[in-house]
Amino acid sequence: MNTIFETNQQRIDDRMQQGLELLQAHYTLKERTIPEEFKTLKIQNMTFAIQQFEIEHVGNLLIMKCKDSPMMQMDTFTLMPYFKNLPLFSTDYMYMGEKRTYLNEIYSLTDCQDDLYLSYIEKFKQNKEKHASLPDMPSKPCWQDEVRPVCTAKMTTPDADEENIEIFLENLKVFMEMEQNTPVFADEEAYQKKWLQNKAYTDRLVDEGGVSTDVFKQALGAEKTREFFNKVFFAPDLYKK
C-alpha cells in the first residue's frame, strides 16, 4: 500500500499527464529548450522540475513539478494564450501530507470581452458551482481580483482528489472549446494588444507581487524572477513581434 507521500507523487504525475494528453489530442505541442539556469529551480528547500511547451497557434504552456519535498509537493499547469482573445489559464495543486490546496484560476487579460468571451467565462463559473460542496480555501483580496473573473480555490483531503483533478480537466476542456470557437486575431494590431496585456500582467506580478510571486522573488531576486517569467513561465519575450 502506498504511503501518502507516494500517493501525492502519483497525483502530480496523473494530473500533468492527463492535461498533456488532452491537449495533445487536439493540438501540436513542441517542447521548448529551457535556459539551463531555469530547468530546475530551488525555492524554499523545494526543487521544481520545469517543462515548457509551445502549443501551436495557441501560446505557452508551463509545467512545474515538485514531487520529492517532504515539506510540500506541488504541481503547476499554466497556459498563456497569444493568438486569440482568450484568458490566462492557471492551476496550482499543493499537497502537504493529507492536506491539499487547489487553485484553478481564469484571468481576463484582454481588452475585448464580447458575448462569445463572456459566454465561456460563464461556463467556467458553472464548473465552479458544480463543486461548491468542497471546502473553499480562504483567500485575501489582492490586485489580481480585478482581472480574475473565476477562481476555484479548495482545501480538501485525499478523499476528494479525483474530484479536484476533474475540476482541472473540466476547465481545460472549456478552455479548449473556447479556443476552437474563437477566431484568430484579424490583424497585427489585435495581436499586439493581446501581447501587451500579457506582458503588462507579467511585469505587474513582479513589480507588485503576489503570494507565489513573492516566494519566487525571495528565492531568485526580482530581476531573475522577471527573466524567468518573461522567458519561461508566461514567455512574452518568445511571442514578441
Distance CA 165, CA 220 (A): 30
Q: What share of the chain is helix, strand, coil (3-state, %, to 5)?
A: 50, 25, 25
Write the CATH number for 93.
3.40.1500.20
Q: What is the DSSP letter of 230?
A: I
Task: Write the CA distances from 66 to 41, 69, 101, 123, integer angstroms.
Answer: 10, 7, 15, 31
The answer to whether 211 and 90 have CB atoms below 8 angstroms apart is no
The whole-number pLDDT of residue 91 equals: 97
The whole-number pLDDT of residue 210 equals: 75
Q: pLDDT tens, position by position, for the chain (241 residues)?
A: 789 999 999 999 999 999 999 999 999 999 999 999 999 999 888 999 999 999 999 999 999 999 999 989 999 999 999 999 999 999 999 999 999 999 999 999 998 899 999 999 999 999 999 999 999 999 889 999 999 999 999 999 999 999 999 999 999 999 999 999 999 999 999 999 999 999 999 999 999 877 788 888 888 889 999 999 999 999 999 999 9
Distance CA 107, CA 89 (A): 7
3-state SS of 121-177 is: HHHHHHHHHHCCCCCECCCCCCHHHHHCCEEEEEEECHHHHHHHHHHHHHHHHHHHH
Number of domains in the chain: 1
Distance CA 5, CA 154 (A): 20
Angle of the 4-24 helix axis to the 161-181 helix axis, nearest 10? 20
The whole-number pLDDT of residue 121 equals: 98
Which of these, 29, 22, 74, lies nearest to 48 by C-alpha position?
A: 74
The whole-number pLDDT of residue 208 equals: 87
The answer to whether 232 and 38 have CB atoms below 8 angstroms apart is yes
Distance CA 138, CA 140 (A): 7
Give residues with Cβ within 8 angstroms of 224, minimum separation 6: none
Q: Which domain holds residue 27?
A: 4-239
Task: List, in sequence order, every residue forming a beta bridge with 30; answer none if it has no partner.
Answer: 54
The whole-number pLDDT of residue 205 equals: 93
Distance CA 29, CA 148 (A): 27
Question: Count of residues for the chain?
Answer: 241
Q: What is the DSSP letter of 219?
A: H
The answer to whether 82 and 195 have CB atoms below 8 angstroms apart is yes
